[in-house]
Each structure stands twice: as structure tokens, then as C-alpha cells.
Amino acid sequence: MSLSSDEYKKMGEAAVPKTKCARNLTGAFVIGGGICVLGQFLLNFYQGLGLSTPLSSAACSITLIGISAVLTGFGIYDKIAKFGGGGTLVPITGFANAVVSPAMEFKTEGFVLGLGVKIFTIAGPVIVYGVLASVVYGFVLWILKII
Amino acid sequence: MAHKIGKQTIIIDGDVGIKSSAAVGSKKEGEGPLGKDFDIIDDDSRFGEKTWEKAESKMQELACWKALKKAEIEMADVDFIFAGDLLNQCIASAFSARGSKVPYLGLYGACSTFAEAVGLSAVFADSAAKNCLAVASSHFCSAERQYRFPLEYGGQRPPSAQWTATASGAAIVSKGEGAPFIKAVTFGTVEDLGINDQNNMGAAMAPAAAATLTQFFKDTYTDPADYDLILTGDLGYVGSNLLRELMERGGFPLGENYNDCGLMLYDREKQQVESGASGCGCSAAVLSGHVLPKMKNGVLKSVLAVSTGALMSPTSVQQGETIPGIAHLICFSSEKGGIF
């Protein structure tokens, strides 16, 4: 049986059932949209309490992160994510889940070498390249100002 | 005495058989179509332990204890233990064997480990031992944290992904015992046809299963229709369809008598396991709990069990390496004497 790697890769791809696009997109739209609506509600709520717009934004983010962390702790967030997919990944709640879940998982290896080391396993690259991107952005802005 | 025929097949000509076997699983396995075939189901997937790794060890200990009990022998009557799992440095197996005081051989064949253990046990039982204990396990939670993401991380799984079984299977392989007898063993070669998606392990392993099966048929001058059941380990929906295609091309098409343990353990739709089950525990439990007892009862007379393994590590995947596969075959028969 002679079969090239390329031929087999094509066979392999053909054998995989299609992703259920309509279902996944609907899930992501409903859940992701729902999180954004909740965010807007919180923003208006904090503004109504008399907080300035920047402070209301911060308070809204903190609340969403808090809710996501608690739901992760109770084992609910991953169930919502299973249905919502990208809808739970993209908002700030996904980032909170990505930090809390490894912290819970690796607690068994101790607070220093387990939790402390592994807490940014998933979120780490986002932080590293986020900071790097802002440095580049700042540098470009500085050059443009000089010109 | 065990001897080699053809290119890769070892004939076991003494009456080496499975004295007893036992399967242990957790909640999801208990809820599956084979739930009733498990000897022990513990709904607590921690098995009363503090870590997932300890839970997996405990599961192996339970499987061994139950198999020994069914065989009505003590651990001291066992000459060698062949054991393996998916964890780094095979700790589930080594830790569960540390109280046994029996010579221990740790194996790593990824999800092919159970067939590797039974095969080596058969060769040993045919030459150097009376009783060998073959055991393998996998645990969804210990495997996820090692290979993929933390349990509570929210993500979706692609349709080709498989669900690591939380299960263990153990078998006592002995000389001069009753059916089912082990007639031949074909240890497989490492095959790689360039699949690098770790969410499609069925496709990565199918070429290895095809290579081992084809070599076995050539070595023994038999073909797929000669057996009641041909059972692969954990190719799942994607891999088993690919295997059919590969065997067809190779001139040994598989008929209605072909199935895959990964398709039997769970209800794929209801239990949402995408392509099916995987892990050492998958073929270990399906064989120990379902197939071997069926052979003992005489429902099945001749079975080819081919456990399949994907030999990658998280490091090799991150480095962009392709995934090599392996498959080991055990030929079981309920009849005494030579069949080849």
C-alpha cells in the first residue's frame, strides 16, 4: 500500500465531519451578545450611581471579570463556553476564565510551583504580546510626533 | 514455546489464556452503552483521592484487585506485572504497583498499551512465567491537564476530537487455563503519514492499525472474514472510516465484523464525545469488561484486538512534529490447540 503523505492528509481531512457552522455562530452571537448587553447595563448602572465614564468602564470590567471568575470556580463557565464558543472567548470574561482555570487546576502542585507558575499558562502570551504591541504603538506615535 | 512466523507475528503455542479480567470506570463510562459490563463504577472520578494522578493509580489498583479476586489468586501468585498509562513517566502504573512486591515492567505505548501489556504477558507466560498481570489506564482529568487545557477552561472541541476514557482494565494471563486463549501477537511498527493535528488522533493512528493488521494477515495467511470480530482500540469515527479505506486499498477489506472500542464506550451523540473515546483505558476496559467475558461465555469465538496509540507529546506537538502512530495486535480464540 503506497500512499503519499499529501494524499493521506487529503483523505484525513475528508473523513472529518463538518463543523456545525450555523449552530456555532448562533451560540457565539447569543452568548457573546448577551455578555456585551450585560456590560452595557453595568456601564449605565455605574454611571447612574454618579461615577465618571472612565471609572464606570473600569467598574464594569471589574464586575464582568468577577462574575466570570466565580462562574469558573463553580464549574459553570466552561459549560456556557461549550455552547457559546467564540462568544465567551472574545470578551474580557474569557480572559478571566483563562487565568482562573489554570490557577484552580494546578493548585495540587502547590501555591508556588503549581498555581504561581501555571496561572498565566494560557493568558501569558496575551499579556506578553499585548505589552509588546503597546510598546511598538507608543514608539510609532513618538516618531510621528517628532516628524 | 512462543516463536516468530513471517515478519512480525509471534505464535503462542502453549495454552496461554485469560484467567480473568476486570474493568473499572467512572460516571460517564457507567452511563455509556457498556456501563453494565464494568466490574466497578465509581461516580466520584477522584476515586476518593486528592489528585487526579492518584485517582488514576487507585483505578488501576481496583482493576488489579478485582481481576485477582475473580481468578481466585493472590498478588503473590503473579510472576510479572506489565503496566502502562498516559502520564509522564508512567506514574499511575508505577505508583499502583509499589505495594505489590512483584517484578514490574512499565510500558509506554500511548493508547496501545493494553495490547502491548497483554502481548508481552502472553510471550512471558508461554516461556518464563505462570501468571502475568497486564493492566493499563487513562483518566480524562489527568490527561487533559497534561496534554491540553485545565478542566474549567472554556473552549469548544472540533468534530474530530476524542474523549479520554476514565477507565482501567486488567487481565491475568496464565498458562494452562481455559478460554479465551491467546494464539498470536503482532507487535506493530511506528507509522507516520504526516498528520500533525492533535485533535485528529484517529487519522494519525489509522495507518499504524492498517500496517499491523495487514502484516498479521500476511504472516498467518488468513483474512478479515476468518474472525468473528476485529476490534481496533480508539480510532473513533474518523479513524475507523480511514482504516476501512486503507484496508480496502491494501487488499484486505474489513466487513461487518469490524468495530472500534472508541465507538462502543460512549453514546457519541448523547454524551457529546465528538469522534469517540480514546486513552489506554478505552481498549483496556472494553476488552476486559465486554469482549473477553463474551469469549468466555462462548458468544465470540475468534477476535483480533488491535490497540492503537498516538506517540506524540505536548512538546513534540508544539515543535510542529507530525504524530507517529503504533498498533499492537492480539489474536484471541476460544479453541484450544493451534489454529494457524
> Model ipTM?
0.90
**Total structural domains within chain B:** 2
The DSSP-derived string for chain A is ----HHHHHHHHHHHSPPP-HHHHHHHHHHHHHHHHHHHHHHHHHHHHTT--HHHHHHHHHHHHHHHHHHHHHTT-HHHHHHHHTHHHHSSHHHHHHHHHHHHHHGGGG-IIIIIIHHTTTTTHHHHHHHHHHHHHHHHHHHHHHH-
Q: Hey, is the C-beta of B50 within 8 angstroms of any chain A C-beta? A: yes
For strands B9-11 and B258-260, give the pairing.
Answer: unpaired
Confidence of residue B336 (pLDDT cuts 50, 70, 90): confident
What is the CB-side half-sphere exposure of residue B135 using CA atoms within 13 A?
38
Angle at B135 between CA B131 and CA B139, to 5 degrees: 165
User: What residues of A are in contact with residue B207 (Cβ under 8 Å)?
Assistant: 3, 8
Domain range spanning residue B77? 17-175
Whether A118 is covered by a domain: the verdict is yes
Of the residues B137, B157, B175, the one at which a domain ends: B175
Q: Which residue of B has its CA nearest to A18?
A: B159
> Mean pLDDT, to the nearest integer, of B195-207?
94
Mean pLDDT of A57-72: 96
Residue A2 included in any domain: no
- Least-confidence region, from B213-222, B253-262, B330-339: B330-339
B107-140 pLDDT tens trace? 999 999 999 999 999 999 999 899 999 999 999 9
Kindly tell me if the per-residue pLDDT of A20 is higher than 90: no
The answer on pLDDT for B164 being more than 60 is yes
Residue that terminates a domain, selected from B175, B190, B225: B175
Residue B197 included in any domain:
yes
Let me know if residue A44 belongs to a domain.
yes
Band of pLDDT at residue A141, cut at 50, 70 and 90: very high
Is A97 among the domain residues?
yes
Clarify whether residues B204 and B327 are in a common domain. yes
Say if residue B193 is in the same domain as residue B212: yes
User: With an 8 Å Cβ cutoff, is B198 touching chain A?
Assistant: no
Statement to judge: residues B35 and B159 lie in one domain: yes
Nearest CB among A1, A88, A106 relative to B250 is that of A1
**Same domain (yes/no): B171, B186:** no
Cis check for the bond before B207: say yes or no (omega within 30 of 0).
no
For residue A111, being part of any structural domain is answered with yes
B238 touching A, CB under 8 A? yes
Which residue range is the domain that position A81 belongs to? 22-146
Here the CATH number for the domain that contains residue B28 is 3.40.47.40
State chain B's mean pLDDT as an integer.
95
Query: Could you tell me the pTM of the whole model?
Result: 0.94
Question: Would residue B2 count as lying in a domain?
Answer: no
Distance, in Å, from the CA atom of B170 to the CA atom of B173, rounded to the nearest integer, reads 10
Are B278 and B144 contacting, i.e. CB atoms less than 8 angstroms apart?
A: no
**B198 and B164 inside one domain:** no
The pLDDT score that the predictor gives to residue A49 is 95
Statement: residue A73 has pLDDT above 70: yes
Same domain, yes or no: B69 and B201: no
User: Is residue B179 very low, low, confident or very high in pLDDT (cuts 50, 70, 90)?
Assistant: confident
Residue B42 has pLDDT above 90, yes or no: yes
pLDDT of residue B338 exceeding 80 = no
Per-residue pLDDT at B59: 97
| Strand-pair category, B277-278 with B258-260 | unpaired
Confidence of residue A89 (pLDDT cuts 50, 70, 90): confident
> What does the pLDDT look like over B68-87, one tens digit per residue?
999 999 999 999 999 999 99
Partner-chain contact A80 B194, CB within 8 Å: no
The CA-atom distances, in angstroms, between B3 and each of A76, B118, B187, B283 are 56, 16, 13, 26
pLDDT at B156: 86
CB contact under 8 A, B203 and A18: no
Q: What is the pLDDT of residue A1?
A: 55
Residue B11 lies in a domain: no
Strands (E) in chain B, as ranges, are 3-5, 9-11, 16-26, 40-42, 80-84, 104-107, 131-138, 163-164, 167-175, 181-186, 229-232, 258-260, 277-278, 302-310, 325-333
CA of B3 to nearest chain A CA: how many angstroms apart?
Answer: 27
Query: Do B108 and B198 fall into the same domain?
Result: no
pLDDT tier at B321, thresholds 50, 70, 90: very high
Asked, for residue B314, whether it belongs to a domain, the answer is yes
Domain identity same for B160 and B217 = no
Can you tell me the mean pLDDT for B298-302?
A: 94
**Tell me, what's the pLDDT at B155?**
85
Overall domain count for chain A: 1
Q: Is residue A17 part of a domain?
A: no
Q: Residues B74, B192: one domain?
A: no
Q: How many CA atoms lie within 13 A of B27 on its CB side?
A: 8
Count, in order, helices (H) and strands (E) of chain B.
11, 15
Sign for the CA dihedral angle at B162, B164, B165, B169 comes to positive
* Bridging pattern class, strands B325-333 and B181-186: antiparallel
Cα atoms in the Cβ-side hemisphere of radius 13 Å centred on B324: 10
Q: Do B160 and B214 sit in the same domain of this protein?
A: no
| Separation CA B279–CA B168 (nearest Å) | 10
Q: Do A100 and B210 touch (CB under 8 A)?
A: no
Q: State the Cα–Cα distance between residues B106 and B113, nearest whole angstrom.
A: 10
- Asked if B33 and B116 sit in the same domain, the reply is yes
Share of chain B above pLDDT 70, in %: 100
Within-domain flag for A40: yes
Q: Based on the fold, state whether residues B199 and B296 are members of the same structural domain.
A: yes
Mean pLDDT of chain A: 93
| pLDDT interval class at B36 (50, 70, 90) | very high
Task: Show which of B143, B175, B207 is a domain's final residue.
Answer: B175
